[in-house]
Amino acid sequence: MASKSVSLEGEDILLASSMIRLGARLQVLQAETSLSYDRLARLYREIRGVSPPKGMLPFSVDWYMTWLPNIHSSLFYNIYRYLDNFTPAKKSLAMVEAYRLYLEQSAAGLRPGDASDEPILSFTRAWMLLRFFESGLVQLSCCHQCGGQYVAHAHDPAASFVCAICKPPPRAGKTRSRRKASPARSV
């Protein structure tokens, strides 16, 4: 019996370590493992070299509906759903693997020298997205133009849904930081 609890604790430590490396906050680690707060805080300091950040987790479904976060969160969730349904990785392990794959795929689309090395979808926001799906606050809707599955508000009419890729907002990608980073055009 004691060896089984040691084995479970070891699995929790490995899971927590993986999550910390991917950017998980302490509240996420507490929800996903059975390790104590003090043990998780020590593990976080050991891996990251700093104390865990304080404060509340982001709690806004609307963030996932804006054009770029919607594309990234939809990519992550579709990867997660595939892994959870069709591989031995379930729940927490599927989330960790899906986030790793998301990082790999989203980094492949970045241009060399892009100003931001931070992913659009942080690990904590990815975890919150899964909670929003579990609680019925969001759903997947099928774009009637491309057929892709995208994150949408729960109970929104799905018949006329068009994704942010098929119909981007007028000023999509025209941020101040990108304009400042681009060299001035010579006439």
How far apart (Å, rounded) are the C-alpha atoms in residues 131 and 27? 13
Q: What is the pLDDT of residue 32?
A: 96
Q: What is the pLDDT of residue 160?
A: 87
156 within a domain of the structure (yes/no): yes
Number of domains in the chain: 2
Inform me whether the pLDDT recorded for 72 exceeds 60: yes
Query: Which one of 56, 74, 92 terminates a domain?
Result: 56
Q: Render pLDDT for 128-178 as a digit per residue (tens, 0 to 9).
A: 999 999 999 999 999 999 999 999 999 888 788 999 899 888 876 666 555
Query: Which one of 11, 27, 56 terminates a domain?
Result: 56
Q: What is the pLDDT of residue 156?
A: 86
Q: What does pTM read for this prediction?
A: 0.84
Q: What is the pLDDT of residue 1?
A: 47
Are 77 and 1 in the same domain?
Answer: no
What separation in angstroms does the CA of 137 have from each of 10, 16, 99, 130, 171? Answer: 34, 27, 21, 10, 28
186 within a domain of the structure (yes/no): no
Structural domain that includes position 40: 1-56
Q: Render pLDDT for 23-58 as a digit per residue (tens, 0 to 9).
A: 999 999 999 999 999 999 999 999 999 999 988 887
Are 133 and 116 in the same domain?
Answer: yes
How far apart (Å, rounded) are the C-alpha atoms in residues 34 and 176? 44
